[in-house]
Amino acid sequence: MTKPIVPEIDHVLFTEEQVNQRIREVAAEISAKYRGKDLKLIGVLKGSVFFLTALAREIEIPVKIDFLAISSFSNQRGAPGVVRIAKDLDEGIEGEEVLLVEDIVDTGFTARYLLQTLAGRGPNSLAICTLLDRTPRRIVQVPVEFRCFEIPDHFVVGCGLDYKQLYRNLGFVAVMKPGA
Ligand code: IMP
Ligand code: MG
């Protein structure tokens, strides 16, 4: 069904059906874990937007959403970046159950920085939910509470993930051709 028509794409790693199925399963885990509470989903712009909205639609407890944007000082994938917040949350998170929603946890630098920053604002709980977890490239250890897929060390696009800002809107996750 999802025939890639993008020249830079090598192969599809997870089809739209597989992605949607895993999102439903992880949403069920989240609903069970936070049952009886309200949950705040915090999305990291722009990559997590597609995953966050799909996830939120499947969660069966009341959710609030907020977004932040970060800028990383290294454009080079592989070079660990110095991370800072480029757009902060609209509202505080004190006393709330907070789930940081990421497209991918790679080296872990972004996630660790955001966890440390958000923890300082006094949430009642704070955890990470990521669509993709690329553990082979992890440099700093971060606790990943919920993940849809673990992936090997290939650059991927789709479901919010971009290559030069393109391909975020693909419904599937695909591996880029080497050297693309
Ligand atoms: P980390 O700080 O190394 O964990 O970086 C995570 C960020 O790098 C993600 O939020 C993405 O924006 C970006 N990134 C890492 N790997 C990929 C990839 O395979 N495709 C697209 N973006 C990626
Ligand atoms: Mg990102």
pLDDT at 2 over 80: no
Predicted local confidence at residue 5, as pLDDT: 66
**Is it true that the peptide bond before 164 is cis, omega within 30 degrees of 0?**
no
How large is the average pLDDT for residues 61-71? 97
pLDDT at 173 over 70: yes
pTM for the full predicted model: 0.93
Q: Give me the catalytic one of 106, 133, 153, 162.
A: 106
Share above pLDDT 90 across residues of the chain, in percent, rounded to a whole number: 86
Minimum mean pLDDT range among 12-26, 80-94, 121-135, 143-157: 80-94
How large is the average pLDDT for residues 39-56? 98
Ligand 1 centre and the CA of 77: distance in Å?
7
Q: 43: pLDDT confidence band, cut at 50, 70 and 90? A: very high
CA-proximal residue: ligand 1, atom 16 (nearest):
106
Ligand 2 centre and the CA of 169: distance in Å?
14
Residues with CB under 6 A from ligand 1: 47, 102-111, 155-157, 161-162
Between 2 and 123, the more confident residue is 123
- Tokens standing for residue 104: 């991918």
Checking DSSP bridges between strand 63-72 and strand 83-87, what pairing results, if any? antiparallel
Task: Tell me the CA distances in angstroms from 143 to 50, 130, 133, 135, 177, one per residue in order.
Answer: 22, 11, 11, 11, 30
Query: In b/e form, how buried is each residue of 21-53, taking b as 16+ CB within 10 angstroms?
Result: eebeebbeebeebbeeeebbbbbbeebbbbbbe
Best residue for ligand 1 mutational test, from 44, 106, 157 (most atoms within 8 Å of Cβ): 106
Closest by Cα among 139, 61, 64, 144 to 96: 64
Residue 133 appears among annotated catalytic residues: no
Ligand 1 centre and the CA of 106: distance in Å?
6
CA-proximal residue: ligand 1, atom 9 (nearest):
104
